[in-house]
Chain A
Amino acid sequence: MAERKKPISVLLNGLIKENPTLRLLLGMCPSLAVTTMAKNGLGMGAAATFVLVGSNLVISLIRKIVPDKVRIPAYITVIATFTTIVHLLLAAFLPELNKQLGIYIPLIVVNCIIFARAEMFAQKNGPLLSVLDGLGMGAGFTLAITAIGSVREILGAGTWMGIPVTVNLFEPAIMFILPPGGFLVMGFLVALFNKLADKKDKSLECETGCEAGCPGCSKAANGGEA
């Protein structure tokens, strides 16, 4: 916190170094549930990014007014408000996507990425940086779940964004668009990311990721009353 953060590095941080899905392993439920198609991943990512940017902005604006003790309910309300906005917008303008994503849109409220960013970033930084952080993290999340969605769609249905791509190459294995495929593809992608990322801090990242994950951020969330 002591050092001044550069806007660009804040923006890029979420894309790769601290990719919320593949490095920090936050927000696993939507990453696995809606990624049967690349398009759904993209839609979910966009919706979550909207909520993330909005809630980061508002929370960073109200961070000095809200007493520390009631910050958790206050943040949850802010996040739930943006989730409701996005839910209503989707229902009005993209009913097809809204139907596909189903209950996972309202479930953005309990997506730990958003809460974690509120607690770890927006609470301590100004509005501009918080918005950039939200954009970066949202983009990282979108990128990751679109990638998972692409792999699953290509292997499981033989299409990408609805366009057939593997017509004569191989018979799609339907397992990949079923739940087990979600776990499997996610596992391999995380392994790949670990391999590509700097080996030195891999152990460290994994430690916080596996151990903390959602329990970690909700523990932080409940730290207020301890």
Chain B
Amino acid sequence: MKELFAILIGAILVENFVLSKFLGICPFLGVSKKTSTALGMSGAVVFVLVMSQAVTWLANEYLLEPYNLEYLQTITFILVIAALVQFVETVLKKLMPPLYKALGVYLPLITTNCAVLGSALIFVERNYTFIEAVVFGFAAGLGFTLALILFSGIRERLETADIPEAFKGMPITLVAASLVSITFIGFAGLIIG
């Protein structure tokens, strides 16, 4: 239990995917303009991350490792994730239309979200068990959510701010992200063991 809690807090705060590991930067910058879209995207990411962690873990444990095919990890994982995202989309559309409506547009974007493939590669690197890998995926998703929602609030204010010409748009967003990232460095001292 203690290990799981450490993984949870670690992935949310200490090694926040977006702000300290730079995974999932594209959606972080792309959809953080409004808090509502940020929420939708985060929901979809948490959902897919948990499922993909479970599926890729099983694929790795029972398909790749027994046959010494670890070198195929990258290919296998990305195809599994792409297929999973497609599958989730189809299932949601059929069975849970309201949820599909809320997450729909964001789902296809997730295949190319490096947070998903990244966390699959990380659990291999750290030899996580099934439960640990899934918790890690969930926590990584929550960390992504936290960063995205915090940041979307800031961006909404940036819209009306007076910004030097050359900094308009992406540059000022990056500078703001830098400041948010500084605050997360504060969590670095938080070691749970």
Contacts and interface: CB of A to CB of B under 8 A. Distances in A.
Interface of A: 25, 28-30, 32-33, 72-73, 76-77, 80-81, 83-84, 87-88, 102-103, 106-107, 109-112, 115, 175, 178-184, 186-188, 190-192, 194-195, 206-207, 209-219, 221-222
A111 B112 CA distance: 8
9 contacts: A30-B22, A179-B22, A183-B175, A186-B174, A187-B167, A187-B173, A188-B171, A206-B168, A219-B108
Nearest to A178: B185
Contacts of B169: 194, 206-207, 209-210
A226 to B, nearest CB: 9
Contacts of B117: 106-107, 109-110
B192 interface: no
Q: By DSSP majority rule, is chain A's interface helix, strand, loop, or mixed?
A: helix
Given A109-B78, A187-B173, A29 B26 contact: yes
A76 B23 CA distance: 19
B27 A215 contact: yes
Interface of B: 19-27, 29-31, 71-75, 78-79, 82, 108-109, 111-114, 117-118, 121-122, 125, 164-175, 177-179, 181-182, 184-185
Interface centre among B82, B122, B174 (most CB of A within 10 A): B174
Contact of A184 (B21, B71, B166, B174): B174
A77 B79 contact: yes
Contacts of A213: 26, 29-30
B75 A32 contact: no
Contact of A194 (B20, B75, B171, B182): B171
A73 B168 CA distance: 36
B160 to A, nearest CB: 17
Given A180-B179, A183-B181, A107 B121 contact: yes
